[in-house]
Structure 1
Amino acid sequence: MTPSIDAPTAGFALAFASTIMSDLLFLVRRFVGLEQSMVAVERIKEFSELKREPPEFIEPRPPASWPTDGAIKCENLVIRYAPDLPNVLHNLNFEIKPGEKVGVLGRTGSGKSTLALSFFRFVEPTEGRILVDDIDISTIGLTDLRSRLTIIPQDPTILSGTLRSTLDVFNEYEDAEIYEALRRVHLIPSGDSAAVSDEVNANVFSNLDSHVSEGGENFSTGEKQLLCMARALLKRSKVLLMDEATASVDYATDELIGKTIRHEFAQSTILTIAHRLRTVIDYDRVILLEEGRIAEFDKPANLLANPSSKFHALCKATGKNEFAALKKVAGV
């Protein structure tokens, strides 16, 4: 032992040294816990600084029958997600006539989904405006706007409950109307409601009290999309937006959805953001977006007939057989 350190001091030092490691570990654990808790503080701060959504109702409210025609007009539409971020959409200008079926195409990141979100004011225009039947949607409250337009997203929202509550959330429709909507989207066979409901064991969609799991896990992706289609039929909206609704389904379901759109929404204006060219090749017109700008906007047949068009190149890139099939459907 060092002569300058007496026995009591050495004993005290050894006793303290034996606990210092546990004290240091305790300090580290508390510091880590504090660091994790600061994440929650940061989130609360972010939530407190979030910009409030526009009001649910704005006076004067739109007519009860709005939209009656489904005419759409975009004027100098510019959108960006934050003041310090670049524009996602750049000065979009286009008009869609009542009852027209228009497809929106483009590579990932071209602004297709942003355009769809802007119709429901999930993102607000930085400049410009969107008019539906000559009414600027920025002057309409969110409840009025979102209840009058219909969207079928790529990932449909299906809540747990019954088939009836899934299709008729606010209990607005008769059972006969719900059965008719299910027939029109080919989820149940033709026949009167009573006859169909007797076949519950053969078809789960024939019983409106059938259980629906959270997220519709007891249904296939195609069935969930058709349920959303049935919900849109019940709503009878004059404007329907489809955001890559057929991107995750097989070709057979894609064709079935396309057939339903052509026959059941013949009087509605449809804006379809498409993943597959076949989905929109027979539409009235197509919009091709490139980096948030409209590169082309014309009838599919006209664009296909022009070898220098970007839409023509996009179709040709699908392969010889598919390209021939697209030209046949377009009538080129």
Structure 2
Amino acid sequence: MLRFALIGAGFIGSVHATNLAAHPGIDFRLVYDVDQQRAQTLAAVQGAAVAATLDEVFDASAIDAVFIASSTDTHAGHLRRAAAAGIAVLCEKPIDLDLNHARDVAAFAQDAGVPVMVDFNRRFDRDYAELKRVVDSGQIGKVELIQLTSRGPSMPPLSYIATSGGQMRDQTVHFFDLARWLSGLDPVEVFATGSALAEPGIVKYDDVDTSAVTLRLPGGALVQIDSVRRTGYGYDERIEIMGSTGMVEARRHRNGAVSRYSGGSVVDDGLHPGWFERVQPTYAAALAAFASSLQGGSDSVPSLEDGLKAQAIAEAAVISLRSGRMETIKY
């Protein structure tokens, strides 16, 4: 049994806590949060204990792995401390909003030799895994064009936007990672353009809520990603990959499969109300993959390098948003 501690008892922490408690190979021992009452509530529901201090979390004699799901500004510090203690880490993205700081901490963790996985959970989506299998098998030939859509149902509060790092680093970064993973290639250039259409107030945070990004892959293949914070019709996420001899796609998910025929019209079930309902199963799948890697001694993927590369693409995209030019991605 892998002895786990969880740092962070907010919404996403509660999701991870449920999965930690349900995994048959995990002994979910501790929950820590700066809000002790929140930690106590979550721990009581999931049958874990509350860590009074972080010293308990980073005690390698009692804990094998830590899941970092606290606020973004704490990820790097917790990762460094876990690595120093020789404890494995599953970390929510990003490692840090400052890419150079993220690189420094990642290098420290790599030198320490501890297993670390960045929680790019969409890689563990069943449909996207099938896309990857088809592409890798050569069934559609050489990849020439990838189109990805990420459209959320409603604007997050501006208080969230203020600390999120912006649409490129917070939302689209998942699709930068998917583009790399699905193609097996590191994009070399990026062009991004965006607008504040859903919430004009977002401009004071130097951010956009509606964007289109083009990535150029080595050899000239292209990736197009459209990201929207507010749709008005539900959560819309899909991927299409065109190759030299065929095409494969993962279509948008509906919340049901019923069609209603009446009066010359057809009414189908709609989309999921939010992003979480669409991707919820991927969190448990990502945790299971991490636990399996620890038990089997294999490498943890998505790795720290994967996390840094997706963030490097996001940083170049932010520069492109401001410059209005195609920008070189600096890994």
Q: Does TM, scored on the shorter chain, surpass 0.5?
A: no
Q: TM-score range by the shorter chain?
A: under 0.3
What's the TM-score once normalised by structure 1's chain length? Answer: 0.24
Computing the radius of gyration from Cα coordinates, the structure with the larger value is 1
